Amino acid sequence: MVGGHYTYAEVPLFDTIRDIFNQSRNNYDKVGHFTQGFVPAIICREIIIRYNIISSKFFTHFFTLCFVLAFSAFYELLEWWVALLSGEAAEAFLGTQGYIWDTQSDMAWALLGASSALILLSPLHNKQIKLLQTRS
């Protein structure tokens, strides 16, 4: 909601962070893309486990990361299409701030978010699923 109010490139707190750490750009969008990987990873993992789609732990994690990257790539394509349609407002919408690797960086942040979710939350998620299964 904050990024939508100010646009991602103009969130005041991240302007302050940019100035304090002498960064070249406002990096609020990276928080959004990290979250864009973190949240769908757990949802995807939940669906895979509950419906017993994949039994291998390795392939559950692999598919989850692939899903998140596909979701992130699709979002980047949507951003591009909206930018094409919006013409002059494209730079404000995209929030690239002159960074030529913005799209790739956004996808890397989503991958980092998904990887973090799997590493940090998988043990707790497994316990919660087992607890739910014992109650059924």
Encode pLDDT of 77-117 as tens digits: 988 888 888 876 666 666 666 778 888 999 999 999 999 99
Which tokens in the block code for residue 47? 């669906």
Domain containing 38 equals 2-135
Beta strand spans in the chain (E): none
Cα separation of 127 and 136, whole Å? 15
Least confident window among 5-9, 19-23, 36-40: 5-9
Determine contact, residues 113/36, Cβ cutoff 8 Å: yes
Domain count, the chain: 1
Helix, strand, coil content of the chain in percent (nearest 5):
80, 0, 20
Cα separation of 7 and 95, whole Å? 7
The predicted structure's pLDDT at residue 53: 97
Is residue 131 very low, low, confident or very high in pLDDT (cuts 50, 70, 90)? very high
Q: Would residue 16 be called left, alpha or beta, if left means φ above 0 and alpha means ψ between -120 and 50 degrees?
A: alpha
pTM of the model: 0.83
Q: What is the mean pLDDT of residues 125-136?
A: 89
Determine contact, residues 33/72, Cβ cutoff 8 Å: yes
